[in-house]
Amino acid sequence: MTAAIETNPTLTVEGEEDLVAISFDAVAAYHGQAALAMLAVTFQALRVMLPALSPQRPPRRADLTVVSGHPGPGVRDAFEFVTRAVTRGVYTVDRSLPEARLCPGLDASYSWRVSMDGRTVGTALRPGVLPDRFFALVAGGAGKSEAERAEFSALRRRIAAEVLTVAPEKLFDRL
């Protein structure tokens, strides 16, 4: 028997009064389509980090702080939707994080740390999760042609769909 592919993964945090189940689809609706690949990668990282940080029960959203090595909007929006860290002023981008520096020429780390009550759990994206073409298009920046922009959009959607079908523990190294 094959395992069912999870098409809309969820995670749970404790809100102000109750537990809040958050689906990837809800996070994607909040974000839009601009950076779906990194939105999915970060959502999967949270699915690894939050249970490791608080194994007995979902962590309280209000207790979480975030350090991200990547400044992108998909990363920021995934963390904001799940933790409200940006709104609460406890979200920091630290481009100097040494792990998962996967894109030559890009001053960013594909690694993240979430802290609560003096404990910190981190993840670093494993090499090979994002294809070389993704990095080539990222490095191309604003000079992309219309064809490259269309290719990049399709690639980000494909990566998001693929990343969401993989067990999150297979995508990251724990820090």
What is the domain partition of the chain in residue ranges?
A: 10-124+153-165
| pLDDT value for 86 | 98
Q: How many CB atoms lie within 10 A of CB 79?
A: 25
What CATH number has the domain spanning 10-124+153-165?
3.30.1330
**pLDDT classification of 2: cutoffs 50, 70, 90:** very low
List % helix, strand, coil for the chain (3-state, nearest 5). 45, 20, 35
The answer to whether the Cα torsion of 40, 102, 49, 85 is positive or negative is: negative
- Checking if the pLDDT of 135 tops 60, the result is yes
**Tokens linked to 29:** 């609706």
Helix H or strand E encompassing 119: strand 119-125
- Would you place residue 142 in the very low, low, confident or very high pLDDT band (cuts 50, 70, 90)? low
Rg (CA), the chain: 16
Residue 166 φ/ψ, nearest 5 degrees = -100, 140
pTM: 0.94
- Nearest-10 crossing angle of helices 73-83, 36-53: 40
Task: Spell out where 2-81 has E strands.
Answer: 10-14, 19-23, 65-68
Contact of 45 with 37, CB cutoff 8 Å:
no
Which helix (H) or strand (E) segment holds residue 151: the answer is helix 146-163
The residue among 60, 47, 61 whose CA lies nearest residue 121 is 47
Q: What is the pLDDT of residues 43-53, one digit of tens each?
A: 999 999 999 99
Distance of CA 157 to the CA centre of its chain: 14
